Amino acid sequence: MIRLASETDATAIKDCADQAYAPYIARIGQKPAPMVADYEAKIAAETIWVATDEDGDFQGFIVFFPDGPHLMLENVAVLPVAAGRGIGKSLIRFCEDEGRRRGCASVRLCTNAKMTENLLIYPRLGYVEVGRRTENGFDRVYFEKPLS
């Protein structure tokens, strides 16, 4: 099940981000942006959705928001113990479906260039690399997927 996050999800969201992104600290040389994000503010802005299992237990989350005619997928993370079950793909599909429902032209996202796994995953999901640049000390790779 995927539902809008509530204040009671904040700790689980932060913990999930820490677990999912900790392996990248050494590779990037600093904490990835999702590890220092203000999730309470994102929950208040209604930009986070959480995935739960059949028992209602937290499995992962996704952050996205409107960005002009596009939907910006800011972050998707799954608890390592729940990885490999298709939860991340389901969250991304949910984001894309929500973008279509809202009439968005595309979903845009960025990932760190040193998160090489993501550079392989997103193209398999239909995303096309549209740019690279350094921002806030991170080497970012931008992707876009048309929703038409």
Which pLDDT tens digit goes with each residue over 52-99?
A: 999 999 999 999 999 999 999 999 999 999 998 999 999 999 999 999
Average pLDDT estimate for 10-36: 95
Residues 6 or more apart whose CB falls under 8 angstroms from that of 6 comprise 43
Q: What is the pLDDT of residue 61?
A: 98
| DSSP letter (8 states) at residue 111 | E
pLDDT tens sequence across 92-143: 999 999 999 999 999 999 999 999 999 999 999 999 999 999 998 899 999 9
Question: Mean pLDDT of all residues in the chain?
Answer: 96
Q: What is the pLDDT of residue 136?
A: 85
- Measured in whole angstroms, the distance separating CA 77 from the mean position of its chain's CA atoms is 6
Q: What is the pLDDT of residue 122?
A: 96
Instruction: Spell out a b/e string for 109-131, using b for 16 or more CB atoms within 10 Å of the CB, else e.
Output: bbbbbbbeebeebbeeeebeeee
Task: Read off the tokens for 35.
Answer: 């590890």
Residues 145, 126 contacting (CB under 8 angstroms): yes
How far lies 99's CA from each of 22, 31, 93, 119, 122, in Å?
Answer: 29, 29, 10, 22, 17
How big, in percent rounded to 5, are the helix, strand and coil portions of the chain? 40, 35, 25
Q: What is the pLDDT of residue 137?
A: 86
- Choose the CATH number for 2-105 among 3.40.50.11440, 3.40.630.30, 3.40.50.1480, 3.30.70.1560: 3.40.630.30
Q: Where are the domains of the chain?
A: 2-105
Whether residue 148 is predicted with pLDDT greater than 90 in this model: the reply is no
Residues 73, 107 contacting (CB under 8 angstroms): yes
Q: What is the pLDDT of residue 30?
A: 92
